[in-house]
Amino acid sequence: MSGTPKRTSSTNIEGGATFRRTSNTARGSVSAVGRRSEAGLQFTRTQDDLTRPSATKKDMSEWLVKLEHMFTVTPQRMRMIVDGFVEVLEKGLAKEGEDVPMLPTYVFGWPTGQEKGAYLAVDLGGTNLRVCHVELEGDGKFEVTQTKYRLTEEQKHADGPELIDFCAECLGRFVQDHYADDDGNVILDEPLSLGFTFSYPCVQEAIDHGVLLRWTKGFGAPNIEGHDVAAMFKKSLAKFDVPVELVALINDTTGTLIASAYVDTATRAGIIFGTGCNAAYMEKISSIPKIADKGLDQTEEMAINCEWGAFDSSTHEHLPRTPYDVIIDETSNKPGQQAFEKMIAGLYLGEVFRLVMIELIDEGVLFLGQETYKVEKPFGFDTAFLSLIESDTTDELLTVTGLFSHFYSLDTTIKERQFFKRLAQLIGTRAARLSACGIAAIVSKQGYLEDGCGIATDGSLYNKYPKFPERLGEGLVDIFGEKGKGIRTYHAEDGSGVGAAVIAAMTKARLLAGK
């Protein structure tokens, strides 16, 4: 079944004029800083400014010792976390209402790799809304064409039905652009089949059904929690007369699992380390006691969307939370939820860093005598900045200099810059090591260690954060010893696009087979 996917670089077609698109994001300007620093245009200061008051080296190194202690997750601690994690995963399969809900997805078994046909996919994940046309060619091959639309903060908190309407409108525009004849009419023999990737915890009772349990990743649109998102989307499609049939509602992790298995049979789990974090894997239906009464074929398997970001949310007995993690939780729009995710995911790492800075500003250790209001804005320090700081290999840490002066109008001493680099390393390493605990829990529970396995992984942290994959690997060796090397993480196929299409194809095949 495995074959070489035709990795067509997904085309970004011009988005509709009425929608904001991805290109002008803040992240674009971050990389611009990197470039400027390389060119040496902006950052000429190589000596500390000795005339301004500066914290003593001792203050900073004392703080570092404290922070290293807080943020280091020892191998022994990791193994304890894994043990607790395995128990929690099992509890979620046994009973409804657990912290980690272990959601049945109604995606039955693995793809054959021979799934074929044209499908549409809509992906509402975190930062963007994406609409894709996916052509599955069999032999694990595919071609993707996509358009991205940037979601505004207002949209994330607008009335729920409005947000879903927006998704349907974007899809309608996409269909119009791709399928209309010269007169602008879309004439089809049958409605196009759609996989809707909705990357939030949904309780499903069928593949085309899903009640939103709770928003995550800072979303808060009212009037969706507790509602069937698939039904809402179908209503919006009818409202805008979009000739599309919603076949499957999926989570991005399930999509990642299936898209990667479509091209590589070694795949055993699909994981996202991005704005949020989560994992999906394939479970024997006979090992999911909470759906024993559904009359499903007990010899089959079903993908489970773990929603592991919620690990340790109510008891706080497993994770080494720092006071900064507690502040993030308590000031978030969802306090008491997603404890694991808030220590790991891209949405939060920059804020952890910023909160440490704020404490040290208050303690009179950093930026003495300077106006610091720009770093005082909550969530005003992007996780992409940690990536930049960690990637700065210049002796004087010139990218760090530029970052602080450009975005926050702050001068930094070399000691401060070295401190920031170490702090970024601590936060990034902790995220990777805790992530390794989650992977290890699935591996242990499923007995994948002996033979080794493939873990398909996607998301900005895995793909862009320096050394994140290497640190994951080191973490797995710290947990399992040398055998941990047999757990291979690799960049996943596009779960929310290709995965949604493969799942739609698998679902149609099951329906045709009368299942």
Residues binding ligand BGC (CB under 6 A): 125-126, 199-201, 216-217, 251-253, 272, 274, 276-278, 307, 309, 341
CA–CA separation, 288 and 341 (whole Å): 24
The residues with which 228 forms a beta bridge, in sequence order, are 211
| Assigned token pair, 309 | 């970001």
What sections of 46-200 are H helices per DSSP? 57-71, 75-94, 153-157, 160-179
Q: State the minimum distance, in angstroms, from the CB of residue 216 to ligand BGC.
A: 3
Query: C-alpha distances in angstroms, 221 versus 201, 210, 225, 417?
Result: 14, 16, 8, 39
Q: State the minimum distance, in angstroms, from the CB of residue 277 to ligand BGC.
A: 6
Q: Identify the CA nearest to 407 among candidates 475, 349, 354.
A: 354
Residue nearer to ligand BGC on the CB measure, 105 or 278: 278
Q: State the minimum distance, in angstroms, from the CB of residue 467 to ligand BGC.
A: 21
> Which residue in the list 252, 325, 382, 458 is annotated as catalytic?
252
61 included as an active-site residue: no
| Assigned token pair, 73 | 């997750």
CA–CA separation, 357 and 365 (whole Å): 9
CA–CA separation, 467 and 442 (whole Å): 22
Q: State the minimum distance, in angstroms, from the CB of residue 40 to ligand BGC.
A: 38
Q: State the minimum distance, in angstroms, from the CB of residue 308 to ligand BGC.
A: 9
CA–CA separation, 477 and 498 (whole Å): 32
**Residue 300: helix, strand or coil by DSSP?**
coil
Residue nearer to ligand BGC on the CB measure, 224 or 398: 224
Q: State the minimum distance, in angstroms, from the CB of residue 256 to ligand BGC.
A: 9
CA–CA separation, 280 and 110 (whole Å): 13
Which residue's CB atom is positioned nearest to ligand BGC? 276
Residue nearer to ligand BGC on the CB measure, 84 or 274: 274
Q: State the minimum distance, in angstroms, from the CB of residue 215 to ligand BGC.
A: 8
> Which residue in the list 36, 77, 214, 488 is annotated as catalytic?
214
Neighbouring CB atoms inside 10 A of 395's CB total: 8
Counting beta carbons within 10 angstroms of the beta carbon of residue 418, is it exposed (0 to 12), middle (13 to 18) or buried (19 or more)? Answer: middle
252 included as an active-site residue: yes
Look-up of token digits 């599955």: 136
Residue 243 corresponds to which amino acid? Answer: P
Roughly how many angstroms between the first and final C-alpha of the chain, as a whole number?
23
CA–CA separation, 122 and 66 (whole Å): 45
Residue nearer to ligand BGC on the CB measure, 255 or 475: 255
User: In Å, how far from its chain's centre is CA 19?
Assistant: 23
CA–CA separation, 274 and 462 (whole Å): 7
Q: State the minimum distance, in angstroms, from the CB of residue 97 to ligand BGC.
A: 16
Query: C-alpha distances in angstroms, 294 versus 30, 290, 291, 329?
Result: 50, 9, 6, 36
Residue pair 249/230 in contact (Cβ under 8 Å)? The answer is: yes
77 included as an active-site residue: no
Residue nearer to ligand BGC on the CB measure, 33 or 328: 328
Residue nearer to ligand BGC on the CB measure, 310 or 365: 310
Residue nearer to ligand BGC on the CB measure, 98 or 392: 98
CA–CA separation, 108 and 503 (whole Å): 9
> Which residue in the list 37, 199, 260, 460 is annotated as catalytic?
199
Residue 258: CA count within 13 A, CB half-sphere: 36
Residue nearer to ligand BGC on the CB measure, 217 or 268: 217
Q: State the minimum distance, in angstroms, from the CB of residue 257 to ligand BGC.
A: 11
Q: Is 363 left (phi over 0), alpha (psi -120 to 50) or beta?
A: alpha
Residue nearer to ligand BGC on the CB measure, 37 or 253: 253
- What are the phi and psi torsion angles at 291 (to 5°)? -115, 25
Catalytic residue set = 199, 214, 252
